[in-house]
Amino acid sequence: MNRSVSKTNATFPADASRSSEFKELLGSCRDKAVRWLLGQQHANGHWCAELQGDIILETEYYLYLRYMGFGDETLYRQLAGYVLSQQNEEGGWGLYPGAPSDLCATVKAYVMLKAMGHDPQSAPMKRIRDVILSKGGVVLVNSFTKIQLALAGLYDWNAVPAMPPELILFPKNFYFSIYSMSAWSRTIVVPLAVVCHYKKTVPLGIDIDELYVGGREKANPHMRWDRNPITWHNFFLVWNRIIKIMERFRIHPLRRWALWKSHQWLRDRIRHSDGLGTIFPAIVNSIVALKALGYSDNDPVIRREHGELERFYIVEDGKLHLQPCLSPVWDTGWAALTLRKAGLAPNDSNMVRAVEWLLTKETRLRGDWYIKNPQSEPSGWYFEYRNEWYPDVDDTTLVLRVLNLTEIPNQAELARASERGLAWLLGMQCRGGGWAAFDKDNDKYIFTKVPMADHNAMIDPPTADITGRVLELLGELGYTTEDAVVARAIKFIRSEQETDGSWFGRWGVNYIYGTWQVLVGLASVGEDMNQPYIQRAVRWMKSLQQEDGGWGETLDSYEEPHRKNESATTTASQTAWAMLGLIAASETRSRAVQLGLDYLARRQHADGDWKEEEWTGTGFPKVFYLRYHYYRHYFPLLAIATYLEETRRMKAASTEALTQASV
């Protein structure tokens, strides 16, 4: 697709890269953005923006409240008001604004509305039902949705995939151990295995027979077999049936032990955290599991876990929506790094407060990661306010970059934390040279074929975007391509490159995000940016620039990768990512970067902020997406600040070269 930028409404002169007026404009943009960002800092030094997900949070929360007997009609109406406000044009609900209807989200919304008294024969409800039936009906929802419906008496427990608690009894390094699942799946599946044993049902008082194609009597709610009989999917379906038969006849001699171990596992991981895993689904599942184990509704553990869910509330215009979790370490890391790059001194009081707060978030607990990466001294940073069992590579990398650029009164404490964090990070490098999010070598793809793995996030393999970010840190710490750890990482990155030159973005949308991260990482460790494989990436990134000077990529590129090359609404965050990648590839004075800068300058508001309604964050590709409300701000500011610093450096280098020549 030809996407020439010659028709842009750019306001800068053709020689903008050398225009003092344009640099003054960018300096003004930077300064306004710095003031805005500093205005969002909390008194104790941290930042935390809203983290927005889709309506599965509100619908699942409603089902949870009804199951537990919590909540009241006012709360239910607030949830329903938000859900209805997110309905799409065809009558269903998608995974992000403008997305096609998602079956699971739409089924749960229908159940919620019907349980609240909406007439199933009304035109609006028929419209929703038509969407559900057009997508195959309720039997095609994923495993987690089937469990939620079964708990409400709306689905056959026999048709729910088996989740035997005995998984927790396997040795920790065994192939099918729970530690071969991703960290987030682990915190969801362990409590669900308890729930699926007890099958404690609390009827919702309705039925959903009308959501079965052809009627419930004719529908086959059991999982479908592959046509080819010899597949891993079919193999696990056989085992699923065997486990179901054993459970029916109570042939599970290790079940009591497994339930006890699961109970202890839950209690251990609820401690040192703001709820199990500090994420919405794990916290909900932990409460339901504890209730199944005999806890009363007023038990302190249940009340505490429920209180953590209430921290996710956001009430606006009489409507209630929930965040999937809170993101203070992530937001503080990016805000502090950006402000430092934008000119704040290393010992600026705002930087000091931010870093001192970040230092309190270092975990010293041997979490689940320790099984694959045993080290004598635990470290790492997590995403949320308190989640000591689950530090992650991305947050740790980001915090270490900030620590490396800051000076605080207790510099010795900062140095010790940096040393511990770096040792932990290097120990998390996977066997193939890349880095994953929470675990090391969590890449047993066979796990994606088990029946309960249909949420598309069963494992946590290494990714190019996280690996690129780690390389950026290592380069800032003095590592080069001569170091073995870097060489292995570059080999992994090259193996992950797409034929068009781009890289997939696992944790941000999408190929723009991944390609940006790789380019800055490679440049940081001194890779020759003129190599053909890098120049392919540069050409691809430039080809995506649109007529307004910006970049944009739709979330649809996860479902259909070819759509990464199609025009999409340009955004401040994705434009910033593209520019940062190009600047790293020595394209600072290119027309593409100049047009991108003009785009950001024109889109900035008088208060120094940018506006962005589009979602550019990724939870689980094809399943759950995110809108980070500060992405619109700190990434554009970082791009502008990086450009200004790079042009200053280039000018200084040129002046020095002229001086040397004259000598």
Alpha carbons 285 and 184: distance in angstroms, whole number: 12
- Which of 110, 109, 108, 92 lies closest to 100, judged by CA? 92
Q: Which amino acid is at 125?
A: M
Beta bridge partners, 626, equal 617
Q: Lay out the sheet containing 624-628: strands in order across.
A: 51-52, 624-628, 617-620
In the residue annotation, 394 being an active-site residue is answered as yes
Alpha carbons 426 and 486: distance in angstroms, whole number: 10
Catalytic residue from among 331, 368, 394, 465: 394
| Alpha helices by DSSP H, 544-630 | 572-584, 591-603
Are the CB atoms for 633 and 36 separated by under 8 Å? Answer: yes
Alpha carbons 398 and 337: distance in angstroms, whole number: 8
Q: Which amino acid is at 594?
A: Q
Kindly give, in sequence order, each residue whose CB lies less than 8 Å from that of residue 328, ignoring residues fewer than 6 positions away: 46, 47, 48, 384, 385
- Which of 155, 242, 164 lies closest to 203, judged by CA? 155
Alpha carbons 99 and 93: distance in angstroms, whole number: 8
Distance in Å from the first CA to the final CA of the chain: 51
Up-side HSE of residue 90: CA atoms within 13 Å toward CB?
17
- Which of 481, 489, 496 lies closest to 529, judged by CA? 481
Alpha carbons 370 and 292: distance in angstroms, whole number: 30
Question: What residues are annotated to the active site?
Answer: 394
